[in-house]
């Protein structure tokens, strides 16, 4: 073999080795792909997704499916370059910078905890939205979600404490607590009356000052609800707030005679608040692919996601624009009866 041929062979071998080595290098990206779907009026893992005790329920049919996004990668298990390149070439997969999913200011554990808390909140808000739509009275209260480490409230107020009053003034909403605290200066005593373990107790905190000059006590709050009957939602290892709309529709369907789907396979996504407002979500492209693969023919789309959705909608999947829970119910009723026009997503 000539020296030139040998050199070319060695160079070619080294090029292949380097290419293979480069393909295995980890890169700071995350691949998002269509995740599993769950029928909120059906079963998951052998048990109903939504269970209602203490109130009459009605038979349902069709599907009201929530859709999810699966991810591959992350700080503890980074993608290799070859997997990222394959994802970029696949229109049903989105490859995004790692910090878009895992902010550098948060650990993996913190992101997972936030997703779990968002799912828990969305279930509470979905139940509240459905019952509000049905004019079922519910009780609201303001409770402690957590306290900031080292803040005046740390160790004195506890998660789950229901805040009854601040300085003797009854608390009616989250904003009323902040308003009461803002009346003080740093160093002033602030008296919280809370319900803890079935009894009321007074807790006096010394107000502090935030970097922006606001008076604070370092308590993070949430609105809690007491429902007149039990609504249990079980979806396994799913996090985030984007299933709120479909939870609400599932609860509403089970509590009302007839079927709002008309036997259709309906999927959808969107956050929900207790007033029934539907908010935008991420991963709309992957969620539509997952919905289509699960047999859905109708996809309930938050209005703010319509622009992206119409650019990537799979063939045979009808996009219905929704802004509120009542709007979604009306649209499904129209689809079932064929009695009018249904709001559609448009490119504009």
Catalytically active residues are 242, 287
Q: Please give the DSSP secondary-structure letter assigned to residue 78.
A: P
d(CA 140, CA 94): 40
Question: What is the DSSP track for 119-139?
Answer: HHHHHHHHHHHHHHHTT---E
d(CA 166, CA 193): 6
258 with 282: CB under 8 angstroms?
Answer: no
Tell me how many degrees the CA angle 119-123-258 measures, rounded to the nearest 5: 135
d(CA 192, CA 206): 11
Residue with tokens 């020296």: 3
Residue 84 burial by Cβ neighbours in a 10 Å radius (0-12, 13-18, 19+): buried
Bin 150: left if φ > 0, else alpha if -120 < ψ < 50, else beta. Answer: left
d(CA 203, CA 192): 5
106 with 99: CB under 8 angstroms?
Answer: no
State how beta strands 43-44 and 47-48 pair.
Answer: antiparallel
d(CA 129, CA 275): 6
């Amino acid at each position: 073999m000539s020296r030139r041929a040998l050199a070319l062979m060695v160079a070619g071998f080294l090029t292949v080795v380097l290419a293979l080595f480069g393909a295995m290098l980890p890169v700071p990206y995350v691949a998002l792909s269509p995740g599993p779907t769950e029928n909120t009026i059906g079963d998951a893992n052998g048990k109903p997704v939504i269970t209602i005790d203490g109130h009459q329920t009605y038979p349902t049919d069709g599907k009201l499916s929530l859709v999810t996004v699966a991810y591959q990668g992350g700080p503890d298990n980074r993608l290799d370059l070859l997997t990222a390149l394959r994802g970029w070439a696949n229109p049903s997969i989105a490859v995004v910078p790692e910090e878009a999913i895992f902010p550098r200011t948060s650990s993996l554990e913190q992101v997972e905890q936030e997703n779990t808390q968002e799912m828990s909140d969305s279930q509470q808000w979905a139940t509240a939205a459905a019952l509000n739509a049905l004019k079922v009275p519910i009780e609201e209260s303001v409770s402690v979600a957590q306290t900031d480490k080292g803040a005046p409230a740390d160790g004195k107020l506890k998660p789950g404490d229901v805040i009854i009053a601040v300085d003797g003034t009854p608390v009616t909403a989250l904003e009323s607590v902040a308003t009461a605290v803002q009346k003080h200066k740093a160093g002033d005593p602030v008296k919280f009356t809370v319900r803890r373990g079935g009894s009321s107790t007074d807790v006096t905190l010394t107000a502090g000052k935030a970097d922006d000059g606001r008076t604070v006590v370092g308590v993070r709050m949430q609105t809690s609800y007491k429902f007149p009957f039990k609504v249990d939602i079980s979806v396994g290892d799913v996090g985030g707030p984007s299933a709120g709309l479909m939870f609400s529709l599932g609860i509403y369907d089970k509590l009302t005679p007839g079927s709002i789907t008309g036997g259709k396979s309906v999927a959808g996504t969107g956050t929900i608040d207790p007033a029934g407002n539907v908010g935008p979500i991420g991963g709309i492209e992957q969620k539509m692919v997952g919905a289509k693969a699960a047999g859905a023919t109708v996809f309930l789309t938050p209005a703010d996601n319509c622009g992206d959705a119409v650019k990537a909608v799979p063939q045979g999947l009808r996009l219905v624009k929704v802004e509120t829970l009542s709007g979604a119910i009306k649209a499904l009723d129209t689809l079932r009866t064929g009695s009018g026009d249904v709001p559609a997503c448009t490119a504009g």
